Structure formats: C-alpha cells, structure tokens
Amino acid sequence: MMTITAPLRTAAMFLLMLVALAACSTSETLRVAQPQRPASLKYAAIVVDAGTGRVLYDADSTSPRYPASLTKMMTLYMLFEAMESGRIARDTPIPVSAHAARRPPSKLGLRPGDTIDAESAVLALTVKSANDVAVAVAEYLGGSEEQFAAMMTAKARSIGMRGTTFRNASGLPDDGQVTTARDMAVLGLALRKRFPAQYAYFSNQSFAYRGRAIRGHNELLRSVAGVDGIKTGYIRASGFNICTSVGRDGRRLVVVVMGGDTARARNAHVEELIERFLPRAARTGV
C-alpha cells in the first residue's frame, strides 16, 4: 500500500488531510501503462493527485536523495510562517552577513552589511533561488544557519516528511542533507494548502530588484499550460530536480522528479508525466 500521511496536529495542519488521505496500491498503479523510466541511478519521482492525495505514479519515491535547491521550499515555508504570524512584515529589512554574502551562485550578489526586505527575499528565493538570500533569511529567523536548519528539520517532521534532514537553508552540497521525492511532494502540497495567499509567488518568472530584472530558472512556467510553480534545483550529487504544481480544468497534480541528467531531459519527463496523469486526477477544483 503506497500512502502519503501527514499528522494533523493543529487546525492549520488539518489542511494536509489531502496528503493523509492518499492511498494507492502499487499493483493498481503498475496496471496503468507507465512512462519510460530514466536510466540514472539518481532518479526518483512521484505524481500525486493534489485534490485527493492519491499517488498516481511512483518510482523510488522513498529512497534517499539530495534536495539541492528544493531545500528552499522549506526555507520559504518558514519565512511564510514568520510573515503570517506577524513576526516580520513584507518590508522588514533582513541583514546580510559576510557568511551569507560569500555563498556561491546562484545568488543575488548581496554584500556584507546590506539588507533585503522580506518580500524581495521571497522573490529572490522563488525566482532566482538565491543562496545568499537563503542564508540571510536563515540567520535572521534562526540566529544561525545551523539552528535554522534544525528548525527546518523539526518542521519537516511535523508535516509528515519522514525521510528529510536539513543541514543548511540553501541546498548547497552537504552529505547529511537528504530527502525523498515523497517528502518533497508532501512539502509542495503543504505550501499551497497552508499558504494560499503567498503561493502566487511561485508563479513569478521574473522580478525587479534595485533596477535590475531578475529572471527565473523554471522553464515549465513558460512552456506547459497550467504550471504555477514550485521549485527547481541542481547540484552535481543530486542531478536536476524539480517539484511542480500544475492545474487544469479543476484537476491538479504535484509532480516531483529528482536526478535528471539535464534540465531539458528533466523538464521533458515532467511534461510527459503531466500529460499522462493529469487526466486521471479527480476534478475537485483545487
């Protein structure tokens, strides 16, 4: 029995019942003609009906993988919580330390002593996947990136991500930072259900910052009808990762593909999964 579960510990987390309801037998899934699986040993994938939580496709979705910049989905989850609680406002200045400024690309190019307002930080994370901004947010909310990573891991457990451990806020290489395709699907579903007002940030393809136009990495936003986020990622150890949300005609999927050989091959596989499985999703209007 292939099941996604999420503990319903608070009224807010009750929104994750769509995850908890997911139950699909492997034998049932395999009776559907399956797409050709990429040969990469890093590959893992899952397709979830976002309206019911039903798993429509699974390939090693509980096997350990490196999240790369999919990590920033949890960094954003924590930032959205802080904004929702009133701890910070959209215009709150977030200071940039020397450690944050030194992070390698992808980055916004912030300097030590700079500040970035919280809303620009959200855009920099969703569109640019800026590592310097991720660390600045971590240090501001957690006191240190290490402490923030511990907070991220605790939050992951609380929403049902059983196979994820965070060591940093950006997704830069760390052998101890692991996740699963299943967990990334849980997080993708949680972001949309928990923060419906903020979720629109994930559909931005570009934003303006200090007179510069900053363009994003997610080509599926431009090329596949109904895609409205969420996040791409790459490090050498992970291959090309993506967590995608797509909706058409009242049907919605969350698709996670990890370990693509190239961004183009990953995107083509995601599009194949969308076209194959979206018609099988329940029409719920989510």
- Per the annotation, binding residues are 231
Binding positions for substrate are 231
Torsion, Cα 230 236 237 243, to 10 degrees, reads 10
Closest by CA to 1, choosing from 21, 16, 147, is 21
DSSP class of residue 9 equals -
Cα separation of 81 and 151, whole Å? 12
Under 8 Å CB-to-CB from 197, ≥6 apart: which residues?
none
Backbone angles phi, psi at 83, to 5 degrees: -70, -40
Looking at residue 152, its amino acid is M
The enclosing H or E element of 221 equals: helix 220-223
**Helix, strand, coil fractions of the chain, as percent rounded to 5:** 40, 20, 35
Rg (C-alpha) for the chain, rounded Å, is 18
**Structure token pair of residue 159:** 């929403």
Residue of 72, 107, 128, 193 marked active site? 72
Q: Which of 42, 61, 69, 238 is catalytic?
A: 69
Is 72 a residue of the active site? yes
Annotated catalytic residue, options 61, 97, 120, 129: 129
**Residues whose CB is less than 8 angstroms from the CB of residue 157 and which lie 6 or more positions away in sequence, other chains included:** none
Helix (H, G, I), strand (E, B) or coil at 70: helix
128 assigned to active site: no
Concerning whether 144 is annotated as a catalytic residue, the answer is: no
| Three-point CA angle 166, 257, 264, nearest 5° | 120
Q: Which positions are annotated as active-site residues?
A: 69, 72, 129
